[in-house]
Structure 1
Amino acid sequence: MNNADFHDKSFIFLLLLVSVGLIIILLPFYGAVFWGVILAILFTPLYRRLLRVTRNRKNLAALGTLGACVLIVIVPVILIASSMIHEGVTLVQKIKSGQINPALYTQQILDAAPSPVHRGLERIGLTDVKSLQIKLSEAVMEGSQFLASKAVRIGQNTFQFVVGFAVMLYLMFFLLRDGSALSMRVKQAIPLSAEHKRHLFNKFTTVIRATVKGNILVAITQGALGGLIFWILDIQAALLWAAIMAFLSLLPAVGASLIWAPVAIYFIATGELGSGIILIAFGVFVIGLVDNILRPILVGKDTKLPDYAVLISTLGGMAVFGLNGFVIGPLIAALFFTMWDIFSTSRPHDRA
C-alpha cells in the first residue's frame, strides 16, 4: 500500500469516526434537529418571498419566516394539545366517578350480540358483568396511572423540552438563512454525477413537502370531520376523539375508522340505530373519502409511490421512529425506489 492510499483510507476512517461521533452527540436532540430541517424545507418558499420583499436582507427574512412558522404551526399545536389534555383528564375523572360506566356500555353490546359471539366470549370469560367491571376498572386505573406518570414525566422534562424547542427554532433560522450554501456543499461532497444529485435532492425535498403537508392536511381534515360528527351526536370529549382520529389518520386506509367504527357498533347494539347509521354513513362517505381522494392527490401523486408502499413505509417508519416515522418511512421508501431507478437506468443493458 502506497502512502497516498494509506492517507486516503485514514482520512475516510477519521471522517466516518467524527461523523458517527456527531450523530451520537445529536441523538438527545434528534427530534428537534429533525423537525428543524423539515420546517426549514417547508417554509423555504415563504423565506424566498420575504427575501425579495426585504431586498435580500437574509436575517430579516429568516426572522419573519420563523415568526410565521410559530404563528401558523406551533401556537395552534400547543393550544390543541392543551385542550386535548384538559378533555382527557375530565374524561378520566368522569369514568372514575361513575358518570361514565364502560362496563355498562360493554354489557349492553354483549346483550345485543348474537349467540355465536356469546359462545366465543364465554370461552375467554368475558360474559360476566362483575368480571367485566373488574377488568375495565383495572384498565381505567392503569390508564389513569399511565397518564399521571406521563404528566409527571412531562413536568420533569420541561427543561429538556424548552431546550429542544429552542434548538429547533435556532437551527431552522440558520437553515433558512444559509440553506442554499449548505445544500451546495452537501451536493459537492456526494460522489455522484450532477444529474443524479439533482434528481436525488429534488426527490428528497418533494417527498418531505408532500408527506408532511399532505398527511397533516388529511389528518386535520379527518380529525375535524370526526370531531364534528361526534359533537353533533353528543358524544363525550369530542375534541379529544377528534385529536386521536387526527393522529390515527396518519395511518393510511385504517386511521380514523379505529375510533368511529366501534362507536357506531355501540350505537347499533344499544338500539340507537339512527345515530349508528348516521355515524357509519358519515365515516364511510365523508371521512373515508377524504383519505381515498386527498391522500393520493397530496402524497402519492408527488412522491410517485404506490398506495401499498405509502401504507407499509408509514407503518414501518412509525414502528421504528415513532411519530417522526410518518415522514421518515415514506422518505426512505421514495429514495429507495429513486436509487434503484438510477442504478438500473445507468447500467448498460444487454442486447437481446
Structure 2
Amino acid sequence: MYDALERRSFLAMLLVVSLAFLFLIKPFTGPIFWAVAIALIFNPVQNWLLRRMPGRYNLAALLTLLLCLFIVIIPIMLLISSLIAEGVNLYQKVQSGEISPGQYIDQITQSFPAIQSFLDRFNIDFERIREGAVATFVGGSKLLARQALGIGQNTFQFFLAFSLMIYLAFFLLRDGSKLVDLLIRALPLGDERERLLFAKFAEVTRATVKGNLVVAAVQGALGGLIFWILGIAGALLWGVVMAIASLVPAVGAALVWVPAALYLAAVGEYVPAAVLTAFGVLVIGLADNLLRPILVGRDTKLPDYIVLLSTLGGIVMFGINGFVMGPLVAALFVAFWGIFIREFNEPARVALGETTATREEQPPG
C-alpha cells in the first residue's frame, strides 16, 4: 500500500517536473526544432565521416555542422537579408505612389473584360477582390519592412536563437544515437514499438523538410530566374514569394506567375507573357511532380488537402516555422494512426477470422 502510494507520488511529480521543463523551453521551440531537423537530415553525412574516422565523434560532428552552415544556413541567411531589403524598397515605392497595385489590377481587367463578365456571372464582387488584393500586397510589403526593423531592434535575440540552434545541432549530431537509446529505455511503450516510432519520426522529418523546402526552393529559384530573364522588377522578391506559395497545394507558385503573365499580356507584352506562361506550366509546375516523389517518397506523401490544412494551421500555431512544423505534425498524426491500426486492429481481425473459421469447421449439432 505504502509502496504504491510512493510510486504514484513519484509519477505525479515526474509529470509535473516534465511539464514545467517543457514550459521552460517553450520560447526556444524554433531553434530546438531546427536543430533536430539538421541532425536528422545530416545524420547520413555524420555516419559517413565516422566510418572514415572511427571514434572521432567530435570532429565528425563539427565537420558535418560546418558543411551544413556553408551549403544551407549561410545561403539562406543571405537570401533572407536580400529579401527583406527588397521588401523595404518595395514598401517605400508603394508608400510614395511609385507602385500602385490597384492600377495593375485595373489594367488587367480593362484589357480582359471577360474576367469581369465571368465574375459577374457568379455574382462575385470584383471591387472587394481588388481591395483585398491591394491590401494583401501592401500588407505583405509592410510586414517585410517591419521584419527588417524588428531584426535590427532584436539583434541579440536573433543571434541567441541562432547560436542555440547551432549548439544543439552539434550535440544532437554527436550524441543523437545515445539520446535515442536513452529515450527508448525511459519510455514505457515497449522497445520494439519505440524504435519503430522513432524511425518513423526521423523518416517523416527528413521527408517533410526535404520535400517541402527543397521543392519550394527549386520552384522559387525557377520563378525568380524567369522573372529576371524577362526583366520583371523585384525578381528575387517574387522568387521567394513563389517559394512560399508553392507550399500551398493545387495552385502554389501559380498564385504569382499567372497574374504576372496576365499583366504582361494586358500591357501588350505578348511574347514575354507567352514565355512566362509556358515556363510556368512546363517547368515550374512540373518541378513538384518530378521532385517530390524522389525526395519524399510515396509512403510519407500526404494528400493535398491535409498539406493545405496543416500548413495554414502550422503558420497560425508556430509562426513562420509552421510551414514545416504543421505538415510534420500532420504526417506524424497519420503515421501514429497507421501504426495503431497495423498493431492493434489487424491482430484482432486475424483472431476474429480464426475464430470464425474454427466455427465453420465444426460440424453442426
Instruction: Supply the AA of the counterpart residue of 1:288.
Output: G
Structure 1 window deviating more from structure 2 (62-71 vs 104-113): it is: 104-113
Structure 1 window deviating more from structure 2 (19-28 vs 91-100): it is: 91-100
Matched residue, 2:270? 273
How do 1:144-293 residues align onto structure 2 when only pairs under 5 Å count? 146-293=143-290
Evaluate the alpha carbon distance shift between residue 220 and residue 147 of structure 1 in structure 2; reply closer, same or farther with a 3 A threshold.
Answer: closer
Deviations along 1:290-333, one digit per CA (max 9) or x if unpaired, are 11222233224251544444444334333332332333333333
RMSD over equivalenced CA pairs, Å: 2.9
2:74 pairs with 1:55: no
Matched residue, 2:362? none
Instruction: Report if aligned partners of 2:36, 2:169 keep a CA contact under 8 Å in 1.
Output: yes
Matched residue, 1:14? 13
Deviation, 1:246, is: 1.2
Deviation, 1:96, is: 4.1
Matched residue, 1:70? 69
Q: Distance in 2 between matches of 1:190 and 1:201?
A: 12
Evaluate the alpha carbon distance shift between residue 200 and residue 259 of structure 1 in structure 2; reply closer, same or farther with a 3 A threshold.
Answer: same
Instruction: Report if aligned partners of 2:65, 2:169 keep a CA contact under 8 Å in 1.
Output: yes
TM-score by length of 1: 0.87
Q: Distance in 1 between matches of 2:230 and 2:334?
A: 45
Local SS of the residue matching 2:233: coil
Deviation, 1:82, is: 1.8
Matched residue, 1:30? 29
Q: Distance in 2 between matches of 1:337 and 1:144?
A: 36
Deviation, 1:143, is: 5.9
Instruction: Supply the AA of the counterpart residue of 1:12.
Output: L
Local SS of the residue matching 2:248: coil
Matched residue, 2:331? 334
TM-score by length of 2: 0.84
Q: Distance in 2 between matches of 1:272 and 1:316?
A: 39
Q: Distance in 1 between matches of 2:306 and 2:142?
A: 38
Instruction: Report if aligned partners of 2:311, 2:324 keep a CA contact under 8 Å in 1.
Output: yes
Percent identity of equivalent pairs: 51
Evaluate the alpha carbon distance shift between residue 147 and residue 96 of structure 1 in structure 2; reply closer, same or farther with a 3 A threshold.
Answer: same
Q: Distance in 2 between matches of 1:237 and 1:216?
A: 22
Structure 1 window deviating more from structure 2 (161-170 vs 79-88): it is: 79-88
Matched residue, 1:303? 300
Q: Distance in 2 between matches of 1:332 and 1:146?
A: 27
Q: Distance in 2 between matches of 1:124 and 1:305?
A: 35
Q: Distance in 2 between matches of 1:73 and 1:123?
A: 44
Q: Distance in 1 between matches of 2:167 and 2:126?
A: 56
Deviation, 1:113, is: 3.6
Evaluate the alpha carbon distance shift between residue 299 and residue 111 of structure 1 in structure 2; reply closer, same or farther with a 3 A threshold.
Answer: same
Instruction: Supply the AA of the counterpart residue of 2:104.
Output: Y
Structure 1 window deviating more from structure 2 (193-202 vs 159-168): it is: 193-202
Deviation, 1:120, is: 4.7
Instruction: Report if aligned partners of 1:253, 1:291 keep a CA contact under 8 Å in 2.
Output: no
Instruction: Supply the AA of the counterpart residue of 1:286.
Output: V
Local SS of the residue matching 1:303: coil
Local SS of the residue matching 2:249: coil
Instruction: Supply the AA of the counterpart residue of 1:323.
Output: I
Matched residue, 1:319? 316
Instruction: Report if aligned partners of 1:210, 1:302 keep a CA contact under 8 Å in 2.
Output: no
Local SS of the residue matching 1:301: coil
Instruction: Supply the AA of the counterpart residue of 1:213.
Output: K
Q: Distance in 1 between matches of 2:303 and 2:105?
A: 39
Instruction: Report if aligned partners of 1:200, 1:335 keep a CA contact under 8 Å in 2.
Output: no
Q: Distance in 2 between matches of 1:306 and 1:126?
A: 34
Evaluate the alpha carbon distance shift between residue 275 and residue 206 of structure 1 in structure 2; reply closer, same or farther with a 3 A threshold.
Answer: same
Evaluate the alpha carbon distance shift between residue 139 and residue 26 of structure 1 in structure 2; reply closer, same or farther with a 3 A threshold.
Answer: closer
